[in-house]
Chain A
Amino acid sequence: MTGGRALVSVRNVSKRFGATRALSDVSVDFHAGRVHGLVGENGAGKSTLGRVLLGIHAPDQGRLILDGSPIKLSGPDEAASHGCVGVAQELSLLPALGVVDNIVLGTEECIGPLVSDRGNRQRVETLVAQHGLHIPLDKKVGSLSVADQQKVEILRALGRQSRLVVFDEPTARLASHEAVELCRTVRELADRGVAVVYVSHFLNEVLSVADTVTVMRDGRVVRTAPAADETYESLVEGMTGRSIGDAYPPKPPTPPQDAPVVVRVNGLGRIGEFSDVSFSIKKGEILGLGGLVGAGRSEVAHAVYGATRASTGTVEISGSRLSGTVEDGLSKGISLIPESRRDQGLVVGLSVRDNTTLPHLRRFMGRFGIRVKQEEAAAGQAIQEAGVRAEGLSEPVGTLSGGNQQKVLFARAMLGQPRLFIADEPTRGVDVGSKRAIYDVIGQLAQSGCAVLLVSSELEDLVEMSHRVLVMRSGQIVAEFAGEELTEANILNAAFDTEHHGNSPSASGSQQD
């Protein structure tokens, strides 16, 4: 299958981000004229590998070999000078500039010191004609649809005599007919002799477009094989199949049928994000919410919490209806651990104490302002319960490790003695040791009678921690699994738009072989 020497070889590459091992000892060959698919769960390292190829991340260990000779890439510009370019998941276009200007950006044709508009336009027109990617050249990029913007990005990559193009989730935001068109473009690229690296969540798409597929898991390569030898099921198995061991605490006991319902969500919807979401969580129950990134899980979590206003539907806590503000949610006993702890959770410049007590300050008010001693005692106890390892309460939260930062958010939540605890991706970017501590805290919260809504992209988390799992796709709940049916494969099948299977997700329990 391998047509001679690889264009780019990755040899024994490892990469760490803080305490997280993003890549461990990864070796893959990428060949000219082939589409090479990279698949894996969120956090498996596929995007990181793509970024190593593009010079965005420098490997801690290992080598990159281009055309048989080892190279070091100091940055994306150097990678580009070797012909390695990327089409990013988040587009890197300048919306206020025109299509032509965006495509030639950085490689403008000039006459002396002046940019030659005519020369650039001709170049772009040739490019468009060559590849059949038609877009209105006179428009500003900001006014184009996402699909057209993606084409601009692709044309930019094509315009630089690329030899290797990395696509990172190129179809995540495209409609299905646009995705089909994109796949055709990708094939054409390969037929012209370009090495294409294709990172995607959509397994069927990868199977149809790729010649070779590398399956990744936990930063390691599981296997690299011809796409023809893989099936949807074999990829899922490769991505998820692993020994679980004692990474997880035992599940807290399933609450009895007649346990009181803590939260009831009825017909919740928000225009453009999700619709008709209904569920309830009992006292002591952990409800998992699964689905792909962008399926609307975080949006639902935020609307339940009151951080965004739902356009339809209601949320009730122990029978009383929420007004849809954070203050109301907090006062009725909801705590949220947001998805991005640095952007949405912590104020990194402030101390551990200030971050822990931030929403609960009212409780410590005395006649002369905040009663600091009382506050510190409460914060100290909370961070101990959450297992935060910090030098002291006055340490700035920004100096803690990712896992400990996350635990500070747990301490904050526990200080509120929540009745409903919502955790959005609580273990993202957290090292293994801290993960276990976080699972323990979630288990304890449930055992103490709290209702838990666990949003996670990690299938294992959902299966091992939840009593019941709801799966979302395109803003709707499409499946519910509990008991025997609660398996990683079932969740994954329901989360992907499995044209391949063509049946209702709830019937997919029989698909493991």
Chain B
Amino acid sequence: MTRFVHVLRRYGIAIVTVALFAFLAATTDSFLSQANFRNVLDQQSALLIAASFATIAMIAGGFDLSVASVFVVAPLFALQVENATGNAPLAVLVGVAVGLGVGMANGLIVTRLKVNSFIATLATSFMVFGAGFLISDRSVLRASTDAYPAIARTRFWNLTTATWIAFGVVAVAWVLLSRTRFGRHVYATGGNAEAARLAGIPVARVKTIAFGLAGAAAGLAGVVSSSRSLSALPSDDFSFVFGVIAAVVVGGTSISGGEGAVWRTVAGAFFIALMVNGFNLHQVDPIWQRVIQGGVILGAVAIDSWSQRRPQ
């Protein structure tokens, strides 16, 4: 019995994702078509890129709201560079660097000024959104070269490069978290910062780097997204980060830190994506989709906190 509960708790999200997959395959004709799959993967690329590193930040005990602002603003910087120089790789680099910079700033604010990470990243979000309006002069920026759209839209073995980039980023985050010293330090820092410190782990540095990487990944996600849509628009839209947090949390990574995995976030992202895809295929009213999505997120977090309250 306890073993069963243990397995369920550990692999629950993977099990329900597979079950949902089977359900959709059985109940609709178009779900299993290649075009549908390709679309789902392509649409999820930006989210996967940002969420895989946001997972690391969250396991380290940091809650990063600024992911949305970086996602919106990094491509604006990138496209300005692209418009000015025509150099697409440089544009990508700038987009990622903007994210890295914001992330490191977040990390330093949280670790040095000891500001709660939720508040700190909320505050920096507003600043970054503002910077986006400034750099773009409040207008839509469009790609001026063919190289920039090609970043995400090229096909390789039937999948878009956006998908391949997402796979690559997920793999890097996965290995970083599960196989390296840094990864272990992330778990220890989020799990028990004082114990980690006494074990000789540079807790502040680990957290700062985790925030920096989350920012850089959000920057890359923004660039990939703008490359897919050929343009970028300044806004102060927080919705991207909610998608990211939903994927991380539904996957089963603990909001209080110390627990979680990149594969969980991947499973969480696909669970939500398949759910939305299934709704569309079944022609569920979009308004009801939201209600149900909210319920699912609530359920996932409630199960998480319930299982943590139980003696192990």
Please report the C-alpha to C-alpha distance between residue A347 and residue B195 in the assembled complex, in whole angstroms. 7
Contact with B201, one of A359, A365, A396, A398 (Cβ below 8 angstroms)? A359
In the complex, whether B181 has a CB less than 8 A from a CB of chain A is: yes
Q: Is A338 an interface residue (CB 8 A)?
A: yes
Report B-chain residues with C-beta under 8 Å of the C-beta of A307. Answer: 197-198
B191 partner, pick from A327, A338, A350, A362, beta carbons under 8 A = A350
Q: How far is the CB of A340 from chain B (nearest CB, A)?
A: 9
Contact sample, A vs B, 15 pairs, CB 8 Å cutoff:
A305-B198, A326-B199, A327-B202, A343-B192, A344-B194, A347-B191, A347-B195, A347-B196, A349-B187, A350-B188, A354-B184, A354-B187, A361-B181, A361-B185, A370-B181
Q: Does A368 contact B (CB under 8 A)?
A: yes
Contact call B181/A343, Cβ cutoff below 8 A = no
On chain A, which size bracket covers the interface?
Answer: 20 to 34
Chain A CB within 8 A of B179 CB: yes
- A312-356 CB contacts (< 8 Å) to partner B: 326-327, 329-330, 336, 338, 343-350, 354
**Which residues of B pack against A, CB within 8 Å?**
175, 179-181, 184-185, 187-188, 191-192, 194-202, 258-259, 312
Flag if B200 contacts A330 (CB, 8 Å).
yes
Q: When chains A and B are docked, how far (Å) is the Cα of A358 from the Cα of B184?
A: 7
| Contact in complex: B191, A345 (CB < 8 Å) | no
> Which residues of B sit under 8 angstroms from A368, Cβ to Cβ?
179
Partner of B258, one of A305, A330, A349, A412: A349
Chain A residues 397 to 448 lying within 8 A of chain B, measured CB to CB, are 398-399, 412
Residues of B near A132 (CB, < 8 A) are none
Q: Which chain B residues border A369 with CB–CB below 8 Å?
A: 175, 179-180
Q: How far apart are B220's CB and chain A's nearest CB, in angstroms? A: 22
Report chain B residues within 8 Å CB of A350. Answer: 187-188, 191, 258
* Residues from chain B with Cβ under 8 Å of A330 in the complex: 200
Contact partner, A349, options B175, B184, B191, Cβ 8 Å? B191
| Chain B residue at smallest Cβ distance from A306 | B200
Contact between chains at B198 and A336 (CB < 8 Å): yes
- Contact at A359–B197, with CB atoms within 8 Å? no
Q: Are B184 and A348 in contact (CB under 8 A)?
A: no
Convert A232-247 into 0s and 1s, putting 1 for each residue whose CB lies closer than 8 angstroms to a CB of B.
Answer: 0000000000000000
Whether A344 and B179, one on each chain, are in contact in the complex, defined by CB atoms closer than 8 angstroms, is no
Give the chain A neighbours of B259 by CB distance below 8 A. 349
A329 contact set on B, CB distance < 8 A: 200
* Docked-complex contact A348 and B191, CB < 8 angstroms: yes
Q: Give every chain A residue within 8 A of B202 (Cβ-Cβ).
A: 327
C-beta contact mask, A439-478 vs B, less than 8 Å → 1, else 0?
0000000000000000000000000000000000000000
Q: Which residue of A lies closest to B175 (CB)?
A: A369
* Chain A contacts to B: CB under 8 angstroms: 305, 307, 326-327, 329-330, 336, 338, 343-350, 354, 358-359, 361-362, 365, 368-370, 396, 398-399, 412
CB closest residue in chain B, given A347: B191
Q: In the complex, how many angstroms separate the beta carbon of B128 from the nearest chain A beta carbon? A: 33
Question: Contacts A358-B188, A399-B312 hold; do A344 and B181 have CB atoms under 8 A apart?
Answer: no
Main secondary structure on chain A at its contact with chain B?
Answer: helix
**What is the CA–CA distance of A347 and B181 in the complex, to the nearest angstrom?**
15
Q: Which residue of B lies closest to A395 (CB)?
A: B312
**Cβ distance A373 to chain B, nearest Cβ, rounded Å:** 13
**Which residue of chain A has the shortest Cβ distance to B194 in the bound complex?**
A344
Closest 9 CB pairs of A and B: A369-B179, A347-B191, A359-B199, A330-B200, A326-B200, A361-B181, A347-B192, A359-B200, A358-B199
Contacts of A327 in B (CB 8 A): 200, 202
Closest to A369 in B: B179
A369 to B198, alpha carbons, bound, how many Å? Answer: 23
Residues of B within 8 A of A354 (CB): 184, 187-188
A348-B192 contact, Cβ under 8 Å, with A358-B184, A369-B179, A370-B181: yes
B188 shortest CB reach to chain A, Å? 5
Return chain A residues, CB-CB under 8 Å to B180.
369-370
Complex Cα–Cα for A343 and B192 (A): 7
Q: Which of A330, A349, A350, A362 has the most CB of B within 10 A?
A: A349
Inter-chain contacts of A396 with B (CB < 8 A): 312
Which residues from chain B contact A398 at a C-beta distance below 8 Å? Answer: 312
Residues of chain A contacted by B312 (CB below 8 angstroms): 396, 398-399
B257 nearest in chain A by CB position: A349
CA distance A349 to B180 in the complex (A): 18
Give the distance in Å from the alpha carbon of A399 to the alpha carbon of B184 in the complex: 20
Known interface pairs A307-B197, A330-B200; A365-B181 also in contact (CB < 8 Å)? yes
What is the CB-to-nearest-CB distance from B39 to chain A, in angstroms, rounded to a whole number? 34
Contact A346 B179 (CB under 8 A): no
Known contacts A349-B258, A358-B201, A398-B312; decide if A344 and B195 are in contact (CB<8 Å). yes
Give bound CA distance, A202 to B258, whole Å.
Answer: 42
Contact B200 A343 (CB under 8 A): no
Q: Which residues of chain A come closer than 8 Å to B196, judged between CB atoms?
A: 347, 358
- A491–B181 CA distance with the chains assembled, in angstroms: 44
A305-B198 Cα distance, complex, nearest whole Å:
9
Contact indicator A370/B184 (Cβ below 8 Å)? yes
Give the residue name and chain of the A residue nearest to B254 (CB). A349
The answer to whether B258 touches A347, judged by C-beta atoms less than 8 angstroms apart, is yes
Cα–Cα distance between A336 and B198 once the two chains are bound (Å): 8
- Which residues of A lie under 8 Å from residue B181 when comparing CB positions? 361-362, 365, 370
Flag if A361 contacts B198 (CB, 8 Å). no
Contact, CB under 8 Å: B194 / A343: yes
Tell me the minimal C-beta distance from B56 to chain A in angstroms: 15
Q: Which residues of B contact A338 (CB under 8 A)?
A: 195, 198
In the bound complex, how far is the Cα of B275 from the Cα of A7, in angstroms? 65
